[in-house]
Amino acid sequence: NIGEFSFSRTKLNDVIMPDSVTRVGACAFEYCGELENIKLSKNLINIEAETLCGCYSLKEIDIPEGVTEIGNSAISKCNNLEILNIPDSVEKFGYKCFSETKWIENIPVNEDGLKIYRDILLEATDIQENLVINPNINFIVGGVFQDFEKLESIILPNNIKCIEEYTFQNCINLKSIEIPSGVNWIGNSAFDNCKKLKSIMIPEPVKEIGESAFYKCENLSEIELPRELEYIGENTFGGCSSLKKIIIPKYVKRIEAGAFGRCINLEAVKFEGNPEYIGNSFYGTKYYKEIEEDEYGCKYIQNHIVGFVDKGKKEIIIKEGTVSIADNVFSGLAFEKVIFPKELKYIGGFAFSFCKNLRRVELPQNLIYIGDYEFQFCDKLEYVYIPESVEEIGEMSFVGCDRLKEVVMTKEVADKLWYISDKKVRYID
């Protein structure tokens, strides 16, 4: 591997990459302004975000056969790049991945105001209100229609498999779009701020909807989610103020923070299954306001804590059977002790940050995931036990815990943490 930022802003002239390299991290060669020649490994799978961004002396790039994805801005701002060979193996084209290159400038604009290379829609210039894209197009680069306020309706080709990040962001007059039935992925902010979009049917193959994908679609009142959907990202439908009801399909595993936040008229939510984690996903909705808290102030959806009403208690007991605690739930509160159930598996980020009176934390044996900044600036925190079942922990979980004396955990977990002294760690054998 070649790590992220490895040669960023260096004075390299030539790079010959051995075929033993299978991954090059994001920004690895960004802004190498004197780089004139690069031979990429034949065994690369992805060209990650901003890998060659700003390499303005490059004139030619051969992307190896076998590469399947080109990340956001991966080959952008290569102002003198004239020759770019893209293999048929590439299936995903990230946000503005070829922008500000001579190569894309030299591609002619067709009668619809589009720049097309082979079967790839690269860029849009002056498009009409109603657009029908050539049915032979198989790929659309992320961000192609971003900020096109004129666009009102669009017919997409049936061959495309994904709606990339930012593709229709800020198309504030877009009213009509039918997502092709073969689409299996919708990227971050794909339809963000499409204010006039009223309904959307998401195709059955889609298993993941990216963060802010339909954020602030204020007129979106009808959403049909696919039956096989597994993941709803942060702020995916946040601010969809016309939405009144939603059905969460059976196989959804995670609903992240703000997924339906500030959907002020959302009052009916039906769960067909039992998600593994529900974040602070429904704040600012009628549905959330109607959830009654328990005697300690905890608000539950199924067996997930999604909110808290401070009742001034010094001890919080989380009820048996609870499997997750949403992000930010207890942040900034004054309680001194919390008792966790044995079933708990997930704790979202910032959940106990700024809990100034918390001194001792013993996490339960089945816990798998601890989010980032979990205990940041818990000024009085002295002792934490993290069970060996934990697989993921946020690297900044203990930043600002200046009185921390001992953390018991595995070496694998300790190696993921920043801002914690080895002298304070006791390893689980």
Per-residue pLDDT at 21 exceeds 80 = yes
Torsion of CA 406, 408, 412, 414, to 10 degrees: -20
* Domain annotation covers residue 195: no
Element (H, E) at 286: helix 286-289
* Domain annotation covers residue 128: no
Query: By C-alpha distance, which of 124, 119, 88 is closest to 104?
Result: 124
Task: Give the DSSP letter of residue 60.
Answer: E
Q: Measured between alpha carbons, how far is 185 from 205 in angstroms, rounded to an integer?
A: 8
Q: Which tens digits make up the pLDDT trace of 123-167?
A: 999 899 999 999 999 999 999 999 999 999 999 999 999 999 999
* Domain annotation covers residue 278: no
Query: By C-alpha distance, which of 335, 341, 343, 386 is closest to 361?
Result: 386
Residue 389, domain CATH: 3.80.10.10
* Domain annotation covers residue 158: no
* Domain annotation covers residue 302: yes
Q: Which tens digits make up the pLDDT trace of 195-248?
A: 999 999 999 999 999 999 999 999 999 999 999 999 999 999 999 999 999 999
* Domain annotation covers residue 78: yes
Long-range contacts of 240-244 (CB under 8 A, 24+ apart): 240/214, 240/216, 240/266, 241/265, 242/198, 242/218, 244/268
Phi, psi of 15 (to 5 degrees): -130, 125
- Is-contact 157 178, C-beta < 8 A? no
Q: Measured between alpha carbons, how far is 360 from 379 in angstroms, rounded to an integer?
A: 11
Decide which of 87, 106, 125 is a domain's last residue.
106
* Domain annotation covers residue 30: yes
Phi, psi of 104 (to 5 degrees): -75, -30
Phi, psi of 352 (to 5 degrees): -120, 20
- Is-contact 364 338, C-beta < 8 A? no
Decide which of 77, 106, 135 is a domain's last residue.
106
Count how many domains the chain has: 2
Decide which of 106, 141, 173 is a domain's last residue.
106
Q: pTM for the full model?
A: 0.93
* Domain annotation covers residue 149: no
Question: Whole domain around residue 1: which residue ranges?
Answer: 1-106
Tokens of residue 219, six digits: 């007129």
pLDDT of amino acid 276: 97
